[in-house]
Amino acid sequence: MIERVLNLVKLYQELKSRGNWPLIRRSRKQLVEFILCRGSLNRKNPLAGLFYWWGLLKGYDLLVWRLETFGFLFLPECTADQKKQLNRLLPSMAQAG
């Protein structure tokens, strides 16, 4: 149990240091659906979602990898120029959607 709580703290620190905040702000609804397991790929009831996340917190590396894959976390070696390049389409996406 302590391992999972420590992983939650580490995840919070990763979000603070590597979080892609422009994408998080623009995709807040999708992130909330991901967290609450309401998306079409991973739909669960609230109790099952709680157990799902409790299990995910045991595998910290997998959770970080998933957040990196969806773009909510930048890769550790990503430079400031690369971050700008990755987010260059966000304003145009918001206008189109």
Give me the half-sphere count of Cα atoms (radius 13 Å) on the Cβ side of residue 27: 19
Per-residue pLDDT tens for 27-83? 888 888 888 888 777 788 888 888 888 888 888 898 899 888 888 899 989 899 988
Amino acid at 46: P
What are the sequence ranges of the domains in the chain?
Answer: 2-96
Is 0.75 surpassed by the pTM of this model?
Answer: no
pLDDT at 95: 47
d(CA 90, CA 1): 38
pLDDT at 14: 92
